[in-house]
Chains A and B, each alone.
With several copies, the nearest count.
Chain A
Amino acid sequence: MTSLLAVTAGGQRSTSFDVEAVRADFPVLSRLIGGRPLVYLDNASSSHKPRQVLDAERAFVEQHYSNVHRGVHTLSQEATDGYEAARDTVARFLGAPDSHGVVFTKNATEAYNLVAYSFGNAAAGSRFALGPGDEVCVTEMEHHSNLVPWQMLCERTGATLRWIPLTDDGRLDLTDLESLVNERTKVLAFVHVSNILGTENPVDVLVARAREVGALTLLDGAQSAPHQPVDVVALGVDFFVLTGHKMLAPSGVGVLWGRRELLDAMPPFLGGGSMIEVVQMSGSTYAPAPERFEAGTPVISQAVALAAACDYLQGIGLDRVLAHEQALTARLISGIHDLDGVTIIGPDSLEDRGAAVSFSIEGVHPHDVGQSLDELGIAVRVGHHCAAPVCRRYGVPATTRASSYLYNTEAEIDALLEGITSVQRFWSA
């Protein structure tokens, strides 16, 4: 295994992935933490941003900025062009048929809420309306952001929330899929790749079942879109969500992609400027999607930066990003297998899993693991990772999670493995 991977994807690409060249784009990676080089393995929480993305945003803000969609003056047109070009880029990144289904939000969380509130706002009788007797189905491994909005929706409407449970090895237990997703199910919202377990879920099986019963599907791509090629048409889902800050873009921007005919039929969520058609004091009518769902001044320069991040990732090739991460994940998992007293929480193999690896160290609380590793310059995340039900399911208060990205190296994985050993030494002393 080498960190210069020669990846051949469909015979198309064979140049090697140069991780050192990639690292040079990320200023923070040369920081020292307490005198030691930073080893940043908290990417599932948020990624760093390359110069190219920051430069693109700054050039836009310094020379072409203005509010969008509203003016006839030159800057306003340039800003609108930049913002709409960003929408086109994201649409291409997702394999979407056109850009009208791309709604910019502030993060992934807003996107789930947007869909959930739209359902809540729908007039009785509409295909989105929900009430007692209706069901929403999620999974037990959802991020709180794709769980709490549905809990709140069910509470408001009287609908019932159901969830697909987990197997002991960190996968969805599909034994009762037919009864959990049934004729009463209006939405099936589930995570593509789990941020805590690393599990990649069988989208095809779940989408097929949802289609059988006429439920709409929402796929949480917060942890897939940054790391692997994604094609919303091939996935066959109705809605897809991503968040910019986990994929080399700044905080403050996310995306809801939705099938256009659904978005056009959904009632609005946030009310305000830009999402309207005719406003009278006594009532208003609303613009078609995507404007309908972008009330107020949108996240203009953040969308431009997100597009630059998509370009950066596609310039390298998501297939190569994925291959690089898979090599790192393989090294980490086999390294953990070689250690005593360390247990992986989530799939223990490389099959159908992403780069986030959660583990427990016997006798050491995750908080202490995280703090001790930080003293070695190693940044991992400890806690429930906004997926508290998963911790409860596996009987741990919290986990330690290492999650790599395109700029991580095998040497960093080795540093983590050594770090775990010295944590064990320190806390057993």
Chain B
Amino acid sequence: MSQSMYQEIILDHYKHPHHKGLRDPYDVEVHHVNPTCGDEVTLRVHVADGVVQDVSYDGQGCSISQASTSVMTDLVIGKQVDEALRTSEAFLELMQSRGQLEPDEDVLEDGIAFAGVSRYPARVKCALLGWMAWKDATAQAADPTRRGTS
């Protein structure tokens, strides 16, 4: 089995996810679902001094959604919120590229393993599940009036 889409990186993150499990303290918790396959993630963010202090999560889903959430936590925890958002934009752009974009390893690190996934429109939503949850939670954390609306 060649399993071209399943790079070692993805399999590693899937089998040994980073930062998994829900932790305290947190500012916002969100719950996102991929309606096409029922994949779910519950995700918490803790932001302080403009820095992503922690992201913790729990959920069920396919290797792509689980691995990409794990990669995401590596990429955003400890970063300035602005910078983390730029990283998430870069990942989003990669996923919408239909295999046409050469990812920047300096920015996306392990995230570059998902370049191949972008050729499979049905899987793009899987790869974005955790990222979208994080973005939503972070936006709520920045705007206390929106907290709990998701």
- 25 A/B residue pairs, CB under 8 Å, sorted by A: A34-B4, A72-B120, A72-B123, A77-B119, A77-B120, A77-B122, A278-B35, A366-B37, A366-B62, A367-B37, A367-B62, A367-B64, A367-B123, A367-B126, A368-B62, A368-B63, A368-B64, A371-B123, A372-B3, A383-B36, A383-B37, A397-B37, A397-B38, A397-B40, A397-B61
The reply to whether the CB of B149 lies closer than 8 angstroms to some CB of chain A is: no
| A interface residues, tally (CB under 8 Å) | 34
User: Which one of B3, B38, B63, B123 contacts A391 once the chains associate, using CB atoms below 8 Å?
Assistant: B38
Contacts of A366 in B (CB 8 A): 37, 62
Interface residues of chain A, those whose CB is within 8 Å of chain B, are 34, 69-72, 76-77, 80-81, 84, 276-278, 287, 365-368, 371-372, 375-376, 382-384, 388, 391, 396-398, 422-423, 425-426
| B interface residues, tally (CB under 8 Å) | 25
Decide: B122 and A70 in contact? CB cutoff 8 A. Answer: yes
Q: Look across to chain A and name the residue whose beta carbon is closest to the beta carbon of B34.
A: A397
What are the nearest 3 A-B pairs in CB distance? A397-B38, A367-B62, A365-B62
Contacts of A72 in B (CB 8 A): 120, 122-123
Q: Complex Cα distance A347/B119, Å? A: 36
B59-87 vs A, CB cutoff 8 Å, 1 = contact: the mask equals 01111100000000000000000000000
Q: Complex Cα distance A383/B39, Å? A: 10
**A384 and B2 in contact (CB under 8 A), knowing A77-B120, A367-B126?**
no
The reply to whether the CB of B25 lies closer than 8 angstroms to some CB of chain A is: no
The reply to whether the CB of B121 lies closer than 8 angstroms to some CB of chain A is: yes
The reply to whether the CB of B132 lies closer than 8 angstroms to some CB of chain A is: no
Decide: B122 and A80 in contact? CB cutoff 8 A. Answer: yes
The reply to whether the CB of B90 lies closer than 8 angstroms to some CB of chain A is: no
The reply to whether the CB of B5 lies closer than 8 angstroms to some CB of chain A is: yes
Which residues in chain B, 101-124, are within 8 Å of chain A measured between CB atoms?
119-123
Decide: A77 and B2 in contact? CB cutoff 8 A. Answer: no
The reply to whether the CB of B92 lies closer than 8 angstroms to some CB of chain A is: no
Q: Look across to chain A and name the residue whose beta carbon is closest to the beta carbon of B37.
A: A398
Q: Complex Cα distance A391/B33, Å? A: 14
